[in-house]
Amino acid sequence: MQLMVVKNYHELSLEAAKFILKKIRRLPTITLGLATGGTPKGTYENLVLDYERNQTSYRDITTFNLDEYVGLEPTHQNSYRCYMDNHLFNLVNINKNNVFIPNGNVSDLEKECKRYDQLIKDKGGGDLQLLGIGKNGHIGFNEPGTSFESTTHVTELTLSTREANARYFESIEQVPTHAITVGLGTIMQSKEILLLVSGESKKVALARLLSGKVDEHFPASILANHPNVTIIADEAAVSKGG
């Protein structure tokens, strides 16, 4: 795992966007795995700014999002579909037929998980997966204890994850209890991974990840087994001396 430490969230967002743009320019048909949450917002902002300035084209790109809440309409303001439309897809020239997000609002969730996982497999696992990390080490919505072999599946969110995401809802009761997430085994199939870590609240998680100890109770630790991972972290997320 390569670690790049930058001064603050602003720099992290610039560097992450630069990293992704370099890959898009090199491979205009790239398949990107995308993440939601607070951390990548600035990255998407910079991608959109670049699009406005330089017209980098998204026309031939395919994207797969990592996760989606169960039970929210895709048009719900807190659905990850809506997040992606608002922060990226509606603002660049991406072809919406090449945009994939699990649908958490279907009656047969198992079938949806299988369909989604197969779509990713058909694309060879993807070229670059963007990731954030939860305080408990979750990536996507793969909570502690998730099998390293897992494919796309329905997961029950932990209280700490629901509490962390309650800031986007009126109250914690409104945060869905379940989500569909791309599994850890599926994430590992991406040829390359870019993990963004920002802020003091992620310090403990980052230190644990960098220790290199691989443990199913800390989902992100699986990344130590991947041959091509870049971590961009800001100073607040990096422990002194670590």
Shortest Cβ distance from residue 117 to ligand GLP (Å)? 17
Active site residue 226: no
The residue from 102, 126, 132, 185 that contacts ligand GLP (CB under 6 A) is 132
Of the residues 142, 146, 161, 189, which one makes contact with ligand GLP according to CB under 6 A: 161
Q: Is 144 in the site for ligand GLP (CB under 6 A)?
A: no
x-marked contacts with ligand GLP along 212-231 as a string, rule CB under 6 A: --------------------
Exactly one of 87, 105, 112, 138 is catalytic; name it. 138
Please identify, using beta-carbon distances, which residue of 8 and 54 lies nearer to ligand GLP: 8
CA–CA gap between residue 4 and residue 8 (Å, rounded): 12
DSSP character string of 107-139: S-HHHHHHHHHHHHHHTTT-SEEEE---TT--B
Q: State the alpha helices, DSSP H only, in the chain.
A: 9-26, 41-54, 80-87, 109-122, 159-165, 184-187, 203-210
Q: Which residue of 39, 136, 151, 189 would you call a contact of ligand GLP, by CB under 6 A?
A: 39
Residue 67 bears catalytic tag: yes
Q: Is there a contact between 155 and 193 (Cβ–Cβ < 8 Å)?
A: no
Using CB under 6 A, which residues numbered 6 to 35 contact ligand GLP? Answer: 35
Q: Does residue 36 touch ligand GLP according to CB under 6 A? A: yes
Catalytic option among 46, 65, 136, 142: 136
d(CA 168, CA 140): 17
When asked if residue 37 is in the footprint of ligand GLP (CB under 6 A), the reply is yes
Any long-range contacts for 109-114 (C-beta under 8 Å, 24+ apart)? 109/70, 109/154, 109/180, 110/154, 112/180, 113/151, 113/152, 113/153, 113/154, 113/180, 114/152
Position among 13, 46, 146, 165 found at the interface with ligand GLP (CB under 6 A): 165
**149 flagged as catalytic:** no
Min CB(230)–ligand GLP separation in Å: 16
Beta pairing partners, 5:
233
Sign of the alpha-carbon torsion through 112, 79, 186, 59 = positive
- Whole-number minimum distance, CB 141 to ligand GLP, in Å? 5
Q: Under the criterion CB under 6 A, does residue 46 sit at the interface with ligand GLP?
A: no
**86 is a catalytic site residue:** no
Cβ atoms of residues 152 and 113 within 8 Å: yes
List residues with catalytic annotation: 67, 136, 138, 143
**Chain residues in the site for ligand GLP (CB under 6 A):** 35-39, 66-67, 132-134, 140-141, 161, 165
